[in-house]
Structure 1
Amino acid sequence: MESYLAGDAEEIAEASAAMFSGKIKGLEIAGKLKKEYKCSPDEWKKKMEFLKSRPGKDVEPEKSSRNEGVYPIFNCSQEIPCNPCTSVCPKSAIYIDPENMMGVPVFLEEKGCIGCMQCVAICPGLAVTLVDFRKESDMPVITLPYEFGDRTLAVGDKAVVTDKEGCPLGEYEVISLRKAGKVSNTYLVQFKLPAEAARRAAGLIIQKDHGITAPLSDYIPEIRDDEIVCRCERVTAGEIRELIRKGIRDINQLKAITRAGMGACGGKTCQSIILRLMREEGVDVSEITKDTLRPLFFDTPLRYFAGIKDGESHE
């Protein structure tokens, strides 16, 4: 039987690469079913290579020092294959070289900004801040993306605004909070800040006041047999319990039999659930052999350890 690989099964890379890989393979499968070979367009293949690229060098974007008008500030400084902000700007005022989407975005002042906030809402890295000087040049309004919903923050609340390094710029009052769109979970939160702080603003902290990390109010008393323990390999609690009752105490052995923990995440979540299932079955902790976790790794050319940059001679 002929098979096709796509997404993480083909190569674990940036999420967009996995989706685009599926698009390419889908075209190939459609052609196979119709018995008409369809070759992916060259621009698709080129885009796929960009999406799979390793991050490039760090480039600090230029920031405007103007205390007038409205404009976005980009806090993304690493070259990665990402460009949704360029596609949503109604004024085409955000530019990334179309031949190299690895570049960092640049705001084209001559095109102007209307303050629509779409670039703030769409950025997957929450790396865009909108600064609006149109009403007050010394206390502009900033717009930041926020993904914890409206239950943890409200107009009139105070939150600590930070720069891109997470350093506090001060505590400020929320003057507006609204959802970015019907299908988006991103909220747009606004503050008034002094001009210098406004240009550095990149995030906010509210945990101290609202306890986002508070424990769950309801303890889950039992994990049902039909519930998934390992989402990567779709292994249920029932399958794990059956093997525990047969006497298996080594999580590595459970992995070999069921594939639980062999997925792309490397068993980061399922080991704790398996340990809980063993405790519930009356297994003493001293009898349990824990899983050998895979280290985080990335293929790294030896030249990087010698400090040799791309394009340089290694002789």
Structure 2
Amino acid sequence: MGPTRDAPDSGLTWRMLATMTLVTVVYAAAVLPAFLAGPAWGAAAAAVAAALAVASSRWADRLALYAMDARLVDADEEPDLHAVLDRLCMSSGLPKPRLAVSALGIPNAFAAGSGPGTAVVCVTDGLRARLEPAEVAAVLAHETAHVANRDVLVTAVASFPALAAGLFLGRWTDLFRGGRRGAARAAAWGAGLLLLPAAVAAALLHGAGTLVGLALSRHRELCADSTGALLTGRPADLASALGKVDDGLRDASRDERRALRPVRALCVAAARGEGAAGLLSTHPTLARRTERLTAISRRLASGG
């Protein structure tokens, strides 16, 4: 790793280990009832759990891109974004991640994948419309930092249950929305009611997956802020970008925020609730992140 990055954060390492332990407990708790029904059922459930674990490490990035309606873009389509990624990878010594763009109008970005060689970084059209080029570069540095910090794999495994469940719940609620009339509306409601048990199970899985992710998510965002700021040497750009993304999340419609829900834990920022809801937020407060970036700015200015 290049000299632009701090020493590995022991807190991040321990949180990643704790998260993987909690993921194992969640999978074991899901499989245990099947063993009570008989060895054959238990073996089948264990095989399914193992397959899901492999899928989460291999395909979580594809699921995230699908959830964000994003597509991979090459250097001919997005030369400016690719140029920024090239510079960041030269500074960090990382293999270049794939680049994707989402047509969503809400400002955000995320990184996903199983490691430096397979990672993907995605930005939304809303992010590029709202931010200045230097601020977009700072967000890309933040997402590249997730790859540099090696937390993308753990996050992929931890967030996969919540991501899959969130996508199912989104499609399930769509059955009850829209302008259908007459027989079509009745058929949609009937299909939704038939899937109600699966929706309840998905809601429980989404909640469990979100809680497991909390062991890691807030601290990993602070670490990515620090690493990303050191990669660019311009912490103020990231602080400014985070403020604009936060404003964009507050201004977004309910449907736009709902579109981000499946990948909430992966995003550079997420809408933060008040009171008890804020305690369960996947991201630290904007004030805490800005304070940390300001401290890095002072350290860089003093030559520390």
Q: Which has the higher contact order (CA 8 A, sep 6+)?
A: 2
TM-score by length of 2: 0.29
TM-score by length of 1: 0.28
Say which structure is richer in strand: 1
Say which structure is richer in helix: 2
Larger radius of gyration: 1
